[in-house]
Chains A and B, each alone.
Chain A
Amino acid sequence: MQKIMVCLKRVVDYNVRVRVQPDGSGMALDGVKMAINPFDEIALEEALRIKERGEATEIVAVSLGTHECRQQLRTGLAMGADRAILVETETALEPLGAARILKALVDRETPDLVLLGKQAIDDDNNQTGQMLAALWDRPQATFASEVVLGDGVATVTREVDAGLEVIEVDLPAVITTDLRLNEPRYVKLPDIMKAKKKTLDIVPSQELASGTERQFTILKTESPPARQTGVIVSDVAELVRTLTDKGLL
């Protein structure tokens, strides 16, 4: 296999407890710590392991968004990606728009494998990989917890509601990652220095694709209804009594 394309989305770090703007206009994101989407880090780690096994020769990291996404691409390069592409857009993309841009990039780069996260933890959409696979008319293997490459095929174990499912797909294909696929490596300081010399191309999104405008209008953003404060019981007897009183036992 020659080339793997990996998608890295810039999102709010998963440790941050984000809040809704008091006026309902969106999330309060000023000064909040940003990071690579955790599932995308896992996607990149998988690509690196495939390359280290000698089963791929080049890894291209891709991010779609504002100029600031260069930060996440630099981290990806430090982790070990060979080069990076930022497709610059100012408006926040919906998954279909992102997939259309990625399809255009796939036509240009002709990768054998595209690895994405199963979902971005900001909008929790879980759509982009599946949409890319549809537009590209290629297989999709979503929610992967194991990927084994063979001759022109990938055997993928998927985490599904009923347990695990194994499917085989012809390459090129789209694979989206679940959390148990691997544990991403930490970036070492010398690698950050080395990564500065790697190529990071910037392409305006209009140059690649049309039909990326939003289809859904956001009317408002609210906090979910809060749960009522509960009681603290002192021992098992009181716990059982409280549950019985509520008619739950």
Chain B
Amino acid sequence: MARVLIVAEHDGEQLNLSTAKCVSCAMSFENDGIDVAVLAADGQAVAGEAAALEGVRTVLRIDHPTNEVSLAATWAPQIAALAADYSHVFGPSTTFGKDLMPRVAALLGVGQLSDIMSTPDGRVFQRPIYAGNAIVTVEAREDRSVVATVRTASYPAAEDTGNATIEARTLDVELPTHTRFVAQRGDTGSERPDLQTATRVVSGGRALGSPDKFQMIYELADRLGAAVGASRAAVDSGFVANDLQVGQTGKIIAPELYIAVGISGAIQHLTGIKDAGTIVAINKDADAPIFEVADIGLVADLFTVLPELIDTLSS
């Protein structure tokens, strides 16, 4: 029977929501137990959070000084060592999981499935290809373990009503020293909702024209309690940082409400919002492809309607 190991994503203090989504994916097919591996310098807090996820049986806590930072080169051999007891090894399809899981699979000598969206039985899987223009159904071989990344936008987060056992493990694995962490730069400590988990998102495109004008997107987002996103063109133009990019090569999100302002709707952008509940588009070109997917469209100049909208929502 199937036994699933999930690699926890965390920042040393908190479990990332993507882990709870991997647990939901594992719970969607029949199995003999779901375990979560927490690699950290001191994994106490994170292991505690993982143990509270409904559906998890055991949390394996692997404390090691090297695990303070998550480098694929040092984490992959540890996960590969744990994998022997499992038929399935899952990680999230975030940049963390995409970096790590192929390295794990190659060490195990098996293929890897990226971005799984559904599985009836843990053997047959659906995943998007061609920027989401098509969905393939693939079958994995019975005689190999399945290593996969889970498309987090396709699954709800598992509840935190569980009570798994926490088990400390020491692994006898040689860890390479050829890869070293130097620094992390990012928008930490932002008061705004997180783009990947927000229920509302307002995104701006190239049409905003400058970082200054892009502030209007932030204003609208603040009125709605929404996270801010952007198209690749807006990021490339330097209006906002790279971690706000939505799309094939940015973040795949599934908010209840997505408002796209001055975004044309290139296929690579649309890939990122396929699972959004309601899509609103504001664009001055009535033929912009974004209107093909929008639930509500407003054909207008954003510089006229955005201030109006912000005003209306303020009162």
Please list the residues of chain A having a beta carbon within 8 angstroms of any beta carbon in chain B: 12, 14, 17-20, 27, 94-96, 99, 118-119, 121-128, 130-135, 137-143, 145, 155, 158-170, 173, 178-180, 211, 214-224, 227-228, 230-237, 239-240, 242-243, 246, 248-249
CB distance from A238 to the nearest CB of B (A): 8
Nearest CB of B to A11, in Å: 9
Q: Does A230 contact B106, Cβ atoms closer than 8 Å? A: no
CB-CB < 8 A to A170: which residues of B? Answer: 178-179
Contact of B102 among A95, A162, A167 (CB under 8 A): A95
How distant is B201 from chain A, measured CB to nearest CB, in Å? 12
Nearest-CB residue, chain B, relative to A100: B106
CB distance B72 to A130 under 8 Å?
yes
On whether the beta carbons of A167 and B71 are closer than 8 Å, the reply is yes
**Known interface pairs A139-B179, A180-B236, A239-B298; A122-B135 also in contact (CB < 8 Å):** no
For this complex, 12 residue pairs linking A to B, each with C-beta atoms less than 8 Å apart, are A95-B102, A99-B106, A122-B130, A134-B104, A137-B176, A143-B95, A163-B241, A173-B178, A217-B139, A220-B137, A230-B297, A232-B298
- Closest B-chain residue to A141, C-beta based? B179
**Residue B249 is within 8 A (CB to CB) of chain A in the complex:** yes
Is B207 engaged at the interface, CB distance under 8 Å to the other chain? Answer: no
A124 with B112, Cβ < 8 A, contacts A18-B133, A224-B135, A239-B280 known: no
Cα A232 to Cα B279 in complex, Å, equals 12
Task: Write the nearest CB–CB distance from B269 to chain A, whole angstroms.
Answer: 12
The residue from B129, B176, B241, B278 contacting A124, defined by CB atoms under 8 A apart = B129
Q: A143-B95, A230-B294 are in contact. Are A96 and B103 (CB under 8 A)?
A: no
A126 CA to B128 CA in the complex, in Å? 13
Instruction: Indicate which residue in B71, B99, B132, B249 contacts A224 across the interface (CB closer than 8 Å).
Output: B132
Number of A-B contacts (CB under 8 A): 243
CA distance A235 to B282 in the complex (A): 10
Size class of the B contact interface (CB-based, 8 Å): 35 or more
What separation, in Å, do the CA atoms of A218 and B125 have in the docked complex?
A: 10
Taking a contact as CB atoms under 8 Å apart, the answer to whether B103 and A140 are in contact is yes
Q: A161-B94, A164-B184, A232-B299 are in contact. Are A240 and B138 (CB under 8 A)?
A: no
Contact status A161-B129, CB under 8 Å:
no
* Residues of chain A lying within 8 A (CB to CB) of residue B187: 163
Q: Does B308 contact A (CB under 8 A)?
A: yes
Contact present for A218 and B95 (CB under 8 Å): no
Partner of B297, one of A119, A233, A243: A233
What residues on B are CB-neighbors of A137 within 8 Å? 176
Contact across chains for B242 and A224 when beta carbons are under 8 A apart: no
Chain B contacts with A in 1-36, Cβ cutoff 8 A:
11
Kindly list chain A residues whose C-beta atoms are within 8 Å of the C-beta of B224. 249
Contact of B105 among A96, A119, A224 (CB under 8 A): A96
Residues on B facing A (Cβ under 8 Å): 11, 71-73, 76, 94-96, 98-107, 109-115, 124, 128-141, 144, 176, 178-188, 196, 224, 232, 235-236, 241-243, 248-249, 251, 256-257, 267-268, 274, 278-280, 291, 293-300, 305, 308-309, 312-313
A95-B102, A131-B106, A143-B99 known, 4 other contacts, Cβ within 8 Å: A20-B133, A95-B111, A180-B235, A216-B140
Can you name the residue of chain A whose Cβ is closest to the Cβ of B108? A134
CB of A241, distance to nearest CB on chain B (Å): 10
Q: Which of B141, B178, B298 touches A215 (beta carbons < 8 Å)?
A: B141
**Are the CB atoms of A236 and B133 closer together than 8 Å?**
no
User: Contact: A163 with B186, CB < 8 Å?
Assistant: yes
CB distance from A77 to the nearest CB of B (A): 27
Do A96 and B135 touch across chains, with their CB atoms under 8 A apart?
A: no
Closest to A211 in B: B109
Q: How far is the CA of A99 from the CA of B71 in the complex (A)?
A: 20
The answer for the CA separation of A248 and B293 in the assembled complex, in Å, is 18
Assess whether B278 is in contact with A246, with CB atoms less than 8 Å apart: yes
A227 to B291, CA, bound (A): 11
Check A240–B112 contact: CB distance below 8 A.
Answer: no
Contact between B112 and A243, CB atoms less than 8 A apart: no
Partner of B178, one of A131, A163, A169, A231: A169
Task: Given A219-B139, A236-B298, A243-B280, check contact A138 B178 (CB 8 Å).
Answer: yes
Which listed residue, B105, B182, B249, B309, touches A166 by the CB 8 Å rule?
B182
Closest to A136 in B: B106
| Distance to closest chain A CB from B202 (angstroms) | 12
Q: Which residues of A contact B113 (CB under 8 A)?
A: 216
- Complex alpha-carbon distance, A232 and B115, angstroms: 33
Residue of B nearest to A155 (CB): B182
- Asked whether A243 lies within 8 Å of B183 as measured between CB atoms, the reply is no
